[in-house]
Each structure stands twice: as C-alpha cells, then as structure tokens.
Amino acid sequence: MNEEDTLICAGCGADIQTADPAKTGYVPSSALKRNTIICQRCFRLKHYNEVQDIPLESKDFTNKLHELGKRDALIVKIVDVFDFEGSWIPGFQRYIGKNDVLLLVNKTDLLPKSVNKNKLKDWIKRTAKEHGLRAKEVLFISAEKNSGIKEAASLMDDLREGKDVYITGCTNVGKSTFINSLIQEFGGDDEQLITTSYFPGTTLDMIDLPLDDGSRLYDTPGIINNKQMAHYVTNKELKQLMPAKEIKPRIYQLNEKQTLLIAGLARIDFSQGSPNSFVAYFANDLLIHRTKQEKAGQIYREHAGEFLNPPGKESLKDMPAFVKHSFTVKKGKTDIVISGLGWITVIEPKAEIEVYAPKGVGVSLREAVI
C-alpha cells in the first residue's frame, strides 16, 4: 500500500489514525498489521458491547451530517438536564429537515426530588420551541441509573415507523451511556429492538446497530459545544464539577456588594439590590466561597488553583481570562446559568448581578426551572 493511501475503518468508515485515542478512527499501531482494520471504538462495540463517545468539532458536524435532513429517519436528540443550554446543538433544526425528533432529557436523577417534572417538561418544550425545534415527544431518562431506557426504546420503535434512527448529542450528555444501556437491555434477545451483531459499512464516522426489521440505529459522534466549561479543565477536574448524585441546593442570604466564588471557575457579584436569597445548584462537593465584593479580586488572584480549585494550577495557566457579564434580574425566581457548571436562582427581583466566567463559556438568564 502506498503511503498516501488512506486506511478506512471497516466498521464506521472513519479514516484510520494512530496519533490520538480521543479522536475518530484511532487504532494502536500494532493493529495496522491486521487484514481487516477496525477503529478502537468499533472494536470495543464488537467485543465488549460498549460504545465510546468520540467528540466532533461543530464544523465537522456540519460537513459530515449536512445530508441528515435528506434522509427519512427518526432523530433522537439527547440533552443534559443539568446543562440544558450547554448541551444544545446550535442550528440543529436545519440539519434534520422535516424528520421527527424524540427529545431525551438525561441525568434527571441529579435533580432534587422536589422538582415538579410536569412544569419542567413544559419549560423544556417551550425552550426547545424557542430554539426552533418541535419535538414529537419529550422523555426524562437517566442513562447512568438505567431509568427510562425501556420507555425510550418503546417510543423510538413507535415513532420511527420502520425508519432508521440517528442518536445525536453534545459531548458529556451521556449519549454513549444511553446507547450502552440500550444494548444491555435488549442485546440478548434477537426479537427485541437491538441486537449486538456487528454490521459494518457507513461513511459518516458513525457506528450502526441493526434493528429487528432491517433498519439501523446510528450512533453519531458527540458534538463539541465550546460554551461548556468542560473544555477548560482536565478530565479529573471535570469529575469534580459534574454532579454524580442528587444535587443539594445551597442557600445564601446576600447583601449587596457581596460575592460568591464558585471554586476557581466563576465569580458572581451581587452589586446592587435589597437583601436577597441566592440558591446554588452545583455539584455538592464543589467549593463555594462567600466574601465581600471589594476583596473578591484579591482572593481569586492569591488562591485560584490552590484553595479555589478546580481548576488546578496547570489548568489555570491555559484557562481563558474571565469576562464580565452584567445582568439586571427584573423578575423573582430567575436562574443565572453558567454552561457546564451549574446555576444560581435569584429569588427576589430588582437585583444587579455581575458574573465573571472564562471567555467563551456561556452565561445566560432564564426563568427558574426549580
């Protein structure tokens, strides 16, 4: 074979490469000696029934999936309830055309049990519509806890009407965990939705699984949304800021000119307003430090990467500079959302708030979801 010839994964069609295990088409160099070469992601599916999520830059998503809307299929879009804004794929509607969409809201086990699921579902439907998406159905799931998997499979089977299914989602939404849960739930029974037979042969860097009527379920690579905090920390630090169990709200009674430092990742200043309650929804073990606004800058400069962590010292070197976002909270019970980190609910109206977060991280207001 000539050096310029490109090796293709026999499983998903990705260009084979040996440089980066985190990217599509990776194989260890020793695997190049095999007659049939499949990437590590396909290898793990074939031999271990595990799907690994591979991230895809948004421009690559545009290039590879621009024909998705031309296909007659059911689109399953998975979002993270803890990071709804950060896990939304911008411009998603234009990729899918007129295809029906099943919206799966993952990680609902992280929400406090007091959450009114009906109100939350109404909010999600309304917000999705504002983003230009009309979902046929919205279903709450927890892929990690194996909750809602059977219901999701049943809905998929009903809505697809014999068509192929495409599973889409941003990185870190639990897409691969969901597909693995499907495989575990139905893999042992050929009469059920999914079998674990290995079917090669797509050209979109996707893994496809056969459905029982000859159609296929396609796992698309995880899309990178650069507004997420996850892109500025190490994998170890990411585990610190991503909740692993039900969030316990932390309530702070603040006077104006007081500040909350969210570890070393964000700063929230209550600049002006009557005494107010701030309810913090972050990973339970993530440090929140209250201080006076006039001291906040000095404390951050002296302690970021140490007492205020994550990030650690090394991540701090590469983290973009903080950018200020100014808000006037006009209505009571308003969420201030920091994509991929969490949110704070401001209980009383007429509050002037300044939020500092790394440049590029999404910061926004929304009506309170809890």
Express each pLDDT in 333-361 by its tens digit. 999 999 989 999 999 999 999 999 999 99
Give the residue with greater pLDDT, 110 vs 194. Answer: 110
Instruction: Give yes or no for residue 206 having a pLDDT over 80.
Output: no
**Are 242 and 357 part of one and the same domain?**
yes
Distant-in-sequence, close-in-space partners of 198: CB < 8 Å, separation ≥ 6: 11, 42, 45, 46
Residue 23 in any domain: the answer is no
Domain boundary among 223, 245, 260: 223
Domain boundary among 166, 193, 223: 223
**Are 192 and 62 part of one and the same domain?**
yes
pLDDT in tens, 11-28: 777 889 999 888 888 999
Print the domain residue range for 158: 40-223
Residue 19 in any domain: the answer is no
**Are 202 and 346 part of one and the same domain?**
no
Coil vs helix vs strand at 240: helix
pLDDT in tens, 147-165: 999 999 999 999 999 999 9
Binned at pLDDT 50, 70 and 90, residue 201 comes out as: very low
**Which ranges of the chain does DSSP label H, i.e. alpha helix?**
40-48, 58-65, 92-96, 117-130, 149-160, 175-186, 235-241, 293-303, 313-318
Residue 34 in any domain: the answer is no
Q: In this structure, are residues 104 and 178 in contact, taking their beta carbons and an 8 Å threshold?
A: yes
Distant-in-sequence, close-in-space partners of 50: CB < 8 Å, separation ≥ 6: 44, 180
Counting every residue, how long is the chain? 370
Domain boundary among 176, 194, 223: 223
**Are 286 and 358 part of one and the same domain?**
yes
Instruction: Give yes or no for residue 7 having a pLDDT over 80.
Output: yes
**Are 244 and 212 part of one and the same domain?**
no
